[in-house]
């Protein structure tokens, strides 16, 4: 009997050891490039890039989406904005190298409050808040809860309104007591590694993914047990949270620009971006034909122009959007290589 139990437990122990080894290898491959700061009982990680003496833009705070980390937004914007403004690329609570903090950080409102304290820790009094995807809900919560710190809001393919349906099954499993602990430490790494390639192609669809995107942004960090559970806990409560909080967007007084694509199959333009433009007084919606879920990478110039516009620079965003559309048409990849219907759901990238 003992021998049989040992034989049955051996594969499980091997799987646990493998996942633990891989989690350490992810951190070796993608070491922390930010700095941890105490924000009241736990530490938040961020890459802080000081402004040059002649900087002409307000501070910019970047909030990544589901299953992401600060490398994602830094990869899109740091090179083009460095020196022009003070930059803060945030690892959201429980993601990248940030600690999770309390249960309030499972909600965008709690994360917005945490980022406000992180700004204080970096002595940033006021900033333009830039949120991509799930980070869009946090940016909206920030605008509602911290208007004195909000110079403006830029939303990139934001997820901001309740939707029909649910979330992928593995996010539910990941949050179940005991079973979730086992699932996150045994199955997530081997299953997730098989889907990183197609999953990252899926979030860019129908636009081409940069060749170095996976190598530079570290999506595998999201497969670590604690990070995967944090992501799952957020998504499990996300729809209900939005149902309660979306009506509060009407209270946002800061200038807001929303950039969205009509080919986004991760977060629906007609529900989220158009709903946000309807709900925030005076918000400007920039819709781009042929653009998928990654305007931060595919329409970087348009996103930066939106930040500059909020800062008071004269920018013809509609004209820039049309130029982006022309560029997308020229760079369009063979759709047969990236057809959404053939790309399975990703354990790394999955949003409503």
Q: What is the pLDDT of residues 46-93, one digit of tens each?
A: 999 999 999 999 999 999 999 999 999 999 999 999 999 999 999 999
Neighbours of 33 (CB within 10 A): 16
Report how far residue 87's alpha carbon sits from residue 33's, in angstroms, rounded to the nearest whole number: 14
Give dist(CA 335, CA 298) in Å, integer: 16
> Is 99's pLDDT higher than 70?
yes
Residue-averaged pLDDT of the chain:
92
Q: Compute the distance between CA of residue 294 and CA of residue 198 in angstroms, rounded to an integer.
A: 15
What pLDDT is stored for residue 256 in this prediction?
A: 98
Global pTM exceeds 0.75: yes
User: 94 in helix, strand or coil?
Assistant: coil
Reply yes or no on whether the pLDDT at 297 is more than 90.
yes
Q: Is the dihedral of CA 208, 213, 215, 219 positive or negative?
A: negative
**Residue 13's pLDDT band (cuts 50, 70, 90):** confident
What pLDDT was estimated at residue 348? 52
Q: What is the DSSP letter of 265?
A: S
For 220-258, write each residue's pLDDT tens digit. Answer: 999 999 999 999 999 999 999 999 999 999 999 999 999
The two tokens of residue 226 are: 């604690």
Calculate the CA dihedral of residues 342, 346, 351, 352 and round it to 10 degrees.
50
State which H helix or E strand residue 130 sits in: strand 127-132
CA-based max dimension of the chain: 77
What is the rounded CA–CA span in Å between residue 349 and residue 288? 22
Evaluate if residue 338 carries a pLDDT over 50: no
List, in sequence order, the alpha helices (H) in 82-223. Answer: 108-121, 134-145, 169-174, 179-186, 188-193, 196-204, 213-217
Q: Which domains does the chain have, with CATH numbers?
A: 15-342 (3.40.50.1820)
Which ranges in the chain belong to alpha helices (H)?
2-29, 70-81, 108-121, 134-145, 169-174, 179-186, 188-193, 196-204, 213-217, 225-245, 274-279, 295-298, 300-310, 317-331
Given a cut of 70, whether residue 302 has pLDDT beyond it is yes
57 neighbors 311 (Cβ within 8 angstroms): yes
């Amino acid at each position: 009997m003992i021998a049989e139990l040992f034989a049955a437990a051996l594969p499980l122990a091997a799987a646990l050891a493998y996942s633990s080894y891989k989690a350490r290898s992810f951190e070796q491959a993608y070491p922390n490039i930010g700095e941890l700061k105490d924000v009241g009982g736990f530490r938040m990680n961020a890459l802080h890039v000081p402004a040059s003496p002649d900087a002409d833009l307000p501070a910019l705070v970047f909030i990544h989406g589901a299953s992401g980390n600060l490398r994602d937004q830094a990869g899109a914007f740091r090179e083009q904005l460095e020196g022009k403004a003070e930059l803060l690329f945030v690892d959201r609570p429980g993601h990248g190298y940030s600690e999770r903090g309390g249960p309030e950080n499972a909600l965008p409102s709690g994360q917005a409050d945490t980022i406000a304290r992180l700004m204080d820790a970096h002595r940033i009094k006021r900033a333009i808040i830039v949120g991509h995807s799930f980070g869009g809900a946090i940016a909206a919560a920030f605008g509602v809860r911290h208007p004195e710190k909000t110079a403006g809001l830029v939303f990139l393919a934001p997820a901001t309104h309740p939707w029909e349906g649910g979330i992928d099954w593995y996010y539910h499993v990941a949050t179940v007591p005991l079973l979730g602990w086992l699932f996150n430490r045994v199955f997530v790494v081997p299953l997730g590694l098989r889907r990183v390639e197609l999953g990252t192609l899926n979030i860019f669809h129908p636009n081409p993914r940069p060749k170095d995107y996976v190598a530079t942004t570290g999506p595998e960090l999201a497969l670590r047990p604690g990070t995967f559970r944090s992501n799952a806990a957020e998504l499990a409560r996300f729809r209900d949270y939005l149902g309660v909080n979306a009506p509060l967007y009407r209270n946002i007084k800061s200038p807001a620009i929303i950039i969205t694509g009509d080919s986004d199959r991760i977060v629906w333009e007609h529900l989220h971006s158009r709903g946000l433009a309807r709900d925030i007084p005076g918000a400007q919606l920039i819709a781009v034909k042929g653009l998928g879920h990654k305007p931060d990478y595919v329409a970087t110039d348009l996103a930066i122009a939106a930040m500059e516009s909020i800062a008071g620079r004269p920018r013809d965003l509609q004209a820039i959007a049309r130029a982006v559309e022309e560029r997308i048409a020229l760079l369009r990849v063979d759709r047969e290589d990236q057809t959404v219907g053939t790309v399975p759901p990703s354990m790394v990238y999955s949003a409503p």
